[in-house]
Structure 1
């Protein structure tokens, strides 16, 4: 995945957010996630060390209300934001490009996952047709039954993996459901 922030940009963005008003660390992470329409969520390991560094530099202060730590910009922090207004405009342009690149990467990954799922489901349907019980009512051999059950289980695992993954886009889940319905329709035609 492409980096979202270039060197020093997250620092400036954090100051800009805190210039709008005090925030808890979680609120900052949520604001960043919203800025990127859910395509990027910074980790606590990314945000808190930078906030600590800003505090060391005297640009933010930290207050503890017992439950949560609140970060507030200091006068020195406000002065830096004021001095770097031109950089903030460039930063917004860079973040727009980063968001666009992230969206392109997600679309590409979703397309690839959907293609992989279609191929797996097609192979499972072909395997099901290959080992299907003949219309004569003859019993299926133990080996054929085992292969059939294995193909069904592999299909089930693939579909559940897509369903349960937090990284799977809703469009991929919808495509997976469509493919499962299509596989069922094809199997029903064999009856």
Structure 2
């Protein structure tokens, strides 16, 4: 029996559904899925045997319509639903609680999976940085090389920011601009020499 129904509750709920009007077995399954906002869908192996049992008890009548069977409540079935109105209300209250519990379980599972995914993405990014292959290189960087490259990137960015800030603050004459270009050209040549010796 489905965990969302207590003992005998699915039987009663099927009677309540059929009291609203005749339905095919598949429609009964869809009604139950809709009632649980798609969080629970009973299997055919859960629903059809119970409908057959209700038919044996004379509470439901089955009519074959081509390849489909339609189930309709009988007078005896209606009498049982009327006689058990208190149970029907308890059933509705229990189903409301089941829906809330299922929704909370799904929400908790989704939050947990989202947290796991964020952790996995962070770890993957960290691993990618640590094992990235340098441009033109063939071997992945060691953790030390990756950290050194990050320091180099930071130093270049800081240098660029400092030069621009100084330039904007005081301005540069043509002679100063040429001197800065010469310094940068010399620095670039020295960097190429260092990289070439690697």
TM-score between the two structures when normalised by the length of structure 2: 0.68
Q: 1:94, 1:77 → 2: CA distance?
A: 22
State the aligned residue count.
Answer: 140
Shift in Å, 1:133 = 1.5
User: Runs (4+) of structure 1 moved beyond 6 Å?
Assistant: none
**2:184 — aligned with what?**
none
Q: 1:59, 1:22 → 2: CA distance?
A: 13
Shift in Å, 1:104 = 0.6
Secondary structure of the structure 1 residue equivalent to 2:132 = coil
**1:100 — aligned with what?**
100
**1:13 — aligned with what?**
13
User: Alpha-carbon deviations, 1:114-171, whole Å to 9, x = none?
Assistant: 1111122222111111111224x22236xx9xxxxxxxxxxxxxxxxxxxxxxxxxxx
Q: 1:85, 1:39 → 2: CA distance?
A: 26
Secondary structure of the structure 1 residue equivalent to 2:51 = helix
**1:50 — aligned with what?**
50
Unpaired segments ≥5 residues, structure 1: 145-191
Shift in Å, 1:45 = 1.1
Q: 2:107, 2:50 → 1: CA distance?
A: 31
Q: 1:48, 1:119 → 2: CA distance?
A: 45
CA root-mean-square deviation: 1.5
Secondary structure of the structure 2 residue equivalent to 1:139 = coil
**1:128 — aligned with what?**
128
**2:76 — aligned with what?**
76
Q: 1:21, 1:30 → 2: CA distance?
A: 14
Q: 2:99, 2:138 → 1: CA distance?
A: 57
User: Alpha-carbon deviations, 1:91-125, whole Å to 9, x = none?
Assistant: 11110000000011001110111111112222211
**1:140 — aligned with what?**
139
**1:40 — aligned with what?**
40
Q: 2:116, 2:74 → 1: CA distance?
A: 52
**2:189 — aligned with what?**
none
Shift in Å, 1:67 = 2.2
Computing the radius of gyration over CA atoms, which structure comes out larger, 1 or 2? 2
Q: Kindly indicate whether structure 1 or structure 2 has the higher relative contact order, using CA contacts under 8 Å at least 6 residues apart.
A: 1
Q: 1:118, 1:50 → 2: CA distance?
A: 45
Q: 1:140, 1:43 → 2: CA distance?
A: 54
